[in-house]
Chains A and B, each alone.
Chain A
Amino acid sequence: MSTTQQTIFSSYDKDPKFFDEIFDEKGNVKEVYQTLFDLYSGHSSQDFAKLNDKAKASFFNQGITFQVYTDQEAKEKIFPFDLFPRIIDHKEWETIERGVLQRSKALNHFIWDIYHDKKIIKQGIIPLDLITSSANYLQQMIGIDPPGGIYNHISGTDLIKHADGKYYVLEDNIRCPSGVSYVICNRTALKRALFGVFNHYNAHTVTDYAQNLLEIMESVKPRGVDEPNCVVITPGVYNSAYYEHSYLAKSMGVELVEGRDLFVENDFVYMQTIKGPERVDVIYRRIDDAFLDPLEFRPDSALGVPGLFSAYKKGNVCLVNAPGTGFADDKAVYTYMPEIIKYYLGEEPILNNVHTYHCSRPDELKYVLENVDKLVIKPVDEAGGYGISIGNRLTKEEIEKVKKTIQASPRKYIAQPIMSLSVHATYIEESESFESRHVDLRTFCLLGADKEFVLKGGLTRVALKKGNLIVNSSQGGGSKDTWVLKK
């Protein structure tokens, strides 16, 4: 067994700079992974090459693809799936679950406040400009009470594990977080490829997501409706997440519609069917705010439903998620999350925010100037990664230059410690063995009227290129089945 172990794990690179999910500091396999490690070590590299093909075939047969946009065309690709699952024990998971729920609830309070009293601004906790300058802050939402008081029914919080072994929140996604269908399909694929391993672990199911999503949607039905008619609206087959839209509609047992299948009359929404119009009460929309209603937002939208927004405003239909949530998952708002949680819930944040130094505050500026080499410096008003300086990659001259730029206009800059993503054993086709690769974790949290749910599992995304920290699928990232163990 020791010889096979050498083959499939021989190119595994243990770097003490990063937190390793599988091996501890001494290089021993962690308890929770031991059984799996032993099982995998019993197979040869040829076995894994075969299993890898089997898993790929499973994805192909399930029809799970995503689109990569190039300059000229969009290509359908199979989402790379990794054979080595990520395991999270129940204790660790409990913290994650409480943490993401806390954030979702705080964000919901925050959005309500901003579209009503703006108390948090009046109290001087959040600057007014931060909100009103956001393109995703919708004037149209001011004063509107969404059914059940819920704005972010679905939240996708992205977590990483830093070198200190603690989870940090990278960002909250509360517009249209996608990826949940991959979580479920990863489980199916792994079961098809390696059914035996599930006999040794007691992992929570992930297939209950659709049922819970439907219950959440039904809980936010408009007033006076007994049995709400729910639908999923998609921009159409050309959208990169179309697979997910159709998967969710199918597994909830509701209709998948496009804009032109719906129409609004007297501020009620109807769906055209062969039996005539049928009223629609709750819409899980996978269309961006700007495209929802051409009479209210972008007039050139061919994807939305004319008049939909007035129906929503009257409370005759519920949109999941509510329009105008986007200002709250903004990068700039992120830095205020600990304050937001304390202000609305009176609780300490359970999950860590990446610490942010505001150069506008003199003592923090002092720290930043003394520690540029250990920090990432970001301008507050730039998007898309422009103007970012990563301290440990700068020369001495460059560091001096950055310091001068910050001192010239400290209000324009924030600084954060350099975060390193934890590493996990990942099957690499080229070397036919397991190597260490960086991973993150997207969680899925649902909020309804008197109901909440966190999917026990998540999407572990893995950067397949060696040393790469970018896990996005458009950048050649893959994903892993993620097991949350029962007590």
Chain B
Amino acid sequence: MEYTIKYKAVNTYDAPVDEAFWQFLLRPEENETQRVRLSKFSNSINAAVDASTNTFGFPICRVHLKKAVERISFEANYIISKKHSNPFSALDSVVNPVHTQLLNSLDFKIEYERFLGETSLTTLNREALPFKFSDSHSIFDNLNELNAWIYKNFEFKTRVTDVTITPSEFLAQGAGVCQDFTHLFLTIARLHQIPARYTSGYLHQGNGYKGDSQMHAWAECYIPEKGWLGFDPANNLIALENHIKVAHGRDYADCAPIKGIIYSNSEKNETNYVVEVQAREESEPDVFMDFEVSEPLPFAQQLAFQSQWQQQQYQQQQQLRQQQNPLDSSEL
């Protein structure tokens, strides 16, 4: 399968932005099932693009804006090849006591500690655990049942939650978007000692999947002897050829597609995103172009979806500077 992916973000401000930093985590991962054949990243003002890697080793690109602008757009284009795969042949439904033993061993807990511990977005009281694994089911079956349970009991609804919502708030609300579904899945899996990680990526458009109009999120769990397998609780799917992975981390904060630090007196701002994913069965010749800067883009589309990661007013930051006064950790 060949996918042509376009990601576009358009930021507008009602007053000029003097200085800003943006960081993007958009490029599909290279792995056993995915190959990136074209990769392009550009911005409308031709600012230089830095390449770096994040904590988990995924490539990111950064833009440091040094001149005043009121609007800026970013566009990423990728062409990738994705293999069909069928993990079911390898997954058994029989409880394996060796696996249970492994999950409880100290060395295993140390090795997967990153994906077993709670974060502020994946925290829940053990007493409030809404779904319990069955001892008579295999790890895979339990995770699959969890996937179905979340899908059935929560409504997929945009603009009722933001990226800072916790699993208990989501439980109370009963509705949210893919991040919320994923965070709940991760929380419950981790409380059952299964290493689980947040995964961001693109979704095949045109199959009617929930969350396909934006970047999507799902969970990957570590199954002993089999490795990491993706579960998409917003669609009750196993992540296969329709899920194009970009990055993983402990929660959304590690995988945010765009982060921005903006210094401006602007009171109002808008960020609009477009994600287009086109699938084709045949493939094109290989082209490799990394972070190539293309011609300035015309200022275009308007869609509504606000980034929570952008803290805007410099004024506000000045206030913060005065209010917080973070003390040295060990004061006299």
Contact = CB atoms under 8 A, between A and B. Distances in A.
Contacts of A287: 326
Given A140-B55, A299-B311, A310-B52, A173 B110 contact: no
Given A236-B321, A310-B52, A118 B110 contact: yes
B332 A176 contact: no
B281 interface: no
B262 to A, nearest CB: 10
A175 B329 contact: yes
A344 to B, nearest CB: 18
A128 B113 contact: yes
A310 B332 contact: no
A139 B115 CA distance: 10
A239 B110 CA distance: 38
A142 B114 contact: yes
Contact of B55 (A139, A177, A240): A139
Interface in B304-332: 309, 311, 317-318, 320-322, 325-332
Contacts of B332: 66, 178-179, 182, 241, 459, 461, 472-474
Contacts of B23: 295, 306-307
Interface in B218-242: none
Interface residues of B, dominant DSSP: mixed
A87 B322 CA distance: 41
A473 B109 CA distance: 43
B326 A178 contact: no
A156 B328 CA distance: 13
A239 B106 contact: no
B299 interface: no
B117 interface: yes
Interface string A161-204: 00000000000010111110010000000000000000000000
B321 A176 contact: no
Nearest to B50: A266
Nearest to B51: A266
Contact of A302 (B106, B113, B317): B317
B261 interface: yes
Interface string A452-487: 000000010100000000001110000000000000
A121 B326 CA distance: 32
Contact of A300 (B50, B113, B311, B329): B311
Contacts of B53: 310, 313
Contact of B261 (A173, A306, A474): A306
B107 interface: yes
Interface string A296-318: 10011011001100100110000
Contacts of B110: 118, 121-122, 128
Given A267-B52, A303-B326, 5 more contacts: A139-B250, A176-B329, A178-B330, A179-B332, A299-B311
11 contacts: A118-B110, A173-B329, A176-B328, A178-B330, A239-B326, A295-B261, A299-B261, A300-B311, A306-B261, A459-B332, A472-B332
Interface of B: 21, 23, 48, 50-55, 62, 64, 106-107, 109-110, 113-114, 117, 250, 259, 261, 309, 311, 317-318, 320-322, 325-332
